[in-house]
A and B are shown apart, each in its own frame.
Chain A
Amino acid sequence: MPITKALETQIDHISILDEHGNFDEELGAGLIPDEDLVKLYEHMMICRQLDEVAFKLQRSGRMGTYPQNMGQEATSLGAAYMLDPADWMVTCYRENCGLFWRGLPMEKILQHWMGDERGNQIERSLYCTPIAVPIGTQMLHATGLAWGAKYRGEKQIACTFFGDGATSEGDFHEAVNFAANLDIPVIFFCQNNQWAISVPSSIQCSAPTVAQRGVAYGVDCLQCDGNDLYAVAWCMKKAIESAREHHRPMFIEAVTYRLGDHTTADDARRYRDEEEVELWKSRDPLNRMRTRLMGLKLWDEAREAELKERAERTVAAAVERAETIEAPELSDIFNWTFAEVPEQIALQRDTMRTSSIGQDPSQIASEQTTSA
């Protein structure tokens, strides 16, 4: 018998606006109206400003560990821009730009990383889930959300974000497999930023693309230049159509680069070549968009200067709001463990004692008698 091919496959790579400002008129036609371009660019610039300020806040002891988003602004923004406002965005922690586009107040992100859980109290109408710090768990939540929406007969879909490192987690494989087998309308959006803290993506995946991991589960896969807002939008358009119209999940690998450290607790200079970082700085998603805007006569130096000043003001105001939020009540320790606060926890809350003494008022009474 001759040897036949059991499978032949290919992964398309999408690039529309490159780092030199070259633009593919055919692929890019009608994708993003010019009037939205300026707003999108401004969002990326303000998000970048937040990153710089947040880094300084951490260094000066005004904020806890913070993961910079620098260099990856176009990925989540392109996705959020294309999604319907009622679609779920199920993020990890490098999707600030998309979340701000969605309407999440900037001080929420600051509040969260300043160590206040209330930063995760996101308006239900924004359809965003709390920031997921354990790697990969959110992909299953997204699959469940989309499955539930489909069950309820709603047109809503979910888009979940994760890094290249998270595709090594079992949760990724289980989520994609489920979504494919049960026809669940979820988009798996991988921000391949090349580094999982100090581990390069080659250690996460020996295959030439991360995208092909989706092929194994029978889902359509695309790879794009993640620093190209147009390419991200192009892939999202395909994926949204597939999910919304056909309940088929898609996997998008957006190739980007983490220009900053993993978090402020990291120093990437210890394990990365400066040359590599410089190369990716030349591919910055903001620069190429600025070049494009100028080419379209939608932008000039004066507007750039005005934006920089506005970004500083906007972020400074958000920092001020975040820093002036009143500290949580101590009794908040005990709320939200259960839908209704059970007696044992209510007792601890009332006595503000987490020891067994706090669970037994009779012991407190005897203690007071003794001390009196």
Chain B
Amino acid sequence: MTRVIEYRDALNEAMSEEMRRDQRVMLLGEEVAEYDGAYKVSRGMLEEFGAQRIIDTPISESGFSGMAIGATMVGLRPIVEFMSWSFSLVAADPILNNAPKMLYMSGGQFGCPIVFRGNDGAGGQLGSTHSWCVEGLYSNVPGMKMVIPAFPADAKGLMKTAIRDDDPVFFLESERLLSFKDEVPEEEYLIPFGQALVRRPGTDCTIVSFGRPVHFCLEAAEELAKEGISCEVIDGRTIRPLDIDTIVESVRKTNYLVVVDQSWSFGSPGSEIAAQVHQHCFDDLDNAVARVHSADVPTPYAVELEQAYLPNAHRICEAVRAVTYTA
């Protein structure tokens, strides 16, 4: 049985279910308690779980991220909400330099089972400093896992897995998707990391993406179908671990690949996928891998410029036509 709920409520359900199941789980961050979260993701959770477990913090990202690391050392499993992943940059030391290395540097003693979560990505006219797609910058760091769901059902199933995971998990939500409604199963379920999903089967060209741009890819595939180009759209769902096998399998069938990644192109998940596909599918590819990224500039503020800067269905269609020699 399923019902249709918002992406934000799927996240809320996942956190609440896990908190009922495990007393070691708690949520901390700015505005998460009394205010229900700046984006209402933690609506009602203070009432249910109390101020000991739903904790309003000072505006101090480095502070609560570092504290969460300490809390894991006594066996807790905190969920840390960044109002926006853009604000996590001031917490770079705890989240990049400490949490993913603590297990390694303590010779296996102190793992950091923390879920760092929040809004990622541009598209809300928030200007350059508030529009980060951190997957480009952060996915370079070993020792953490990165999840970026595009649909409410994935947001829930992956969040539950993230909370039970023994490593630090960077959970990238999208402000633009929080009100997006879709079917979510009634019964309990978890979605394992490292399993991409074929969202739309096709035969002529593979399009792989993760997070919000998956929706643009589906839009593009619909448009291209009218032109007789059958696209297979793969939703990566997690960036680390990356399910390269599903992508490779698809490319061996279609012989063409377009990667759509909302982060900047240089040293990004998009470039990593391109590199790995070239390695695994050198003889299968009938053209070089095409990549659709945000423009290699700071995120513009004006709505017209921001929309043109981001990957969109139009740019994806162009890339597919070009790479399949149908332009």
Contact = CB atoms under 8 A, between A and B. Distances in A.
Interface of A: 88, 90, 117-118, 120-122, 124, 129-130, 134, 137, 139-149, 151-152, 154, 156, 158, 170-171, 174-175, 177-178, 181-182, 335-340, 342-344, 356, 359-360, 363
Contacts of A144: 66-73
Contact of B71 (A120, A145, A335): A145
Contacts of A121: 106-109
Interface stretch (B2-10, B36-44, B96-104, B129-137): B96-104
Contacts of B109: 121-122, 124, 130
Interface string B102-136: 11111111110000000000000000000000000
Given A137-B94, A148-B70, A339-B167, 14 more contacts: A137-B97, A139-B66, A143-B63, A144-B71, A148-B71, A174-B62, A174-B63, A177-B58, A177-B60, A182-B55, A336-B104, A336-B108, A339-B111, A356-B275
Contact of B74 (A130, A140, A149, A181): A149
Interface string B205-221: 00000000000000000
B97 A360 contact: no
A357 B130 CA distance: 38
B326 interface: no
A182 B109 CA distance: 27
Nearest to A335: B108
A137 B60 CA distance: 14
Contacts, number: 141
A130 B67 contact: no
B75 interface: yes
A336 B103 contact: yes
A251 to B, nearest CB: 16
B85 interface: no
B66 A174 contact: yes
Contacts of B90: 170
12 contacts: A88-B73, A121-B106, A124-B109, A137-B97, A141-B70, A152-B76, A154-B74, A158-B70, A336-B103, A339-B111, A339-B166, A342-B194
Nearest to B145: A338
A177 B70 CA distance: 16
A24 to B, nearest CB: 36
B58 A140 contact: no
A120 B103 CA distance: 11
B228 interface: no
Contacts of A178: 57-58, 60, 63-64, 67
B69 A130 contact: no
Contacts of B72: 144, 148
Contacts of B166: 339-340
B66 A120 contact: no
A338 B76 CA distance: 18
B55 A336 contact: no
Contacts of A147: 67, 70-71
A130 B110 contact: yes
A145 B70 contact: yes
B66 A151 contact: no
Contacts of A151: 26, 52, 71, 76
B269 interface: no
A337 B103 CA distance: 7
Given A141-B69, A148-B74, A181-B58, A363 B279 contact: yes
Nearest to A116: B107
Contacts of A359: 279
The 9 lowest CB-CB distance pairs between A and B, nearest first, are A144-B70, A140-B66, A174-B63, A339-B166, A144-B67, A121-B107, A148-B74, A141-B70, A148-B71
B2 to A, nearest CB: 31
A86 to B, nearest CB: 11
Contacts of A130: 102, 105-106, 109-110
Query: Considering residues B63, B194, B276, which has the most beta carbons from chain A within 10 angstroms of its beta carbon?
Result: B63
A99 to B, nearest CB: 15
Contacts of A177: 58, 60, 63
Contacts of A170: 62, 90
A174 B60 contact: yes
B280 interface: yes
Given A141-B69, A344-B241, A129 B63 contact: no
Contacts of B110: 129-130
Query: Considering residues A118, A141, A344, which has the most beta carbons from chain B within 10 angstroms of its beta carbon?
Result: A141
A133 B55 CA distance: 29
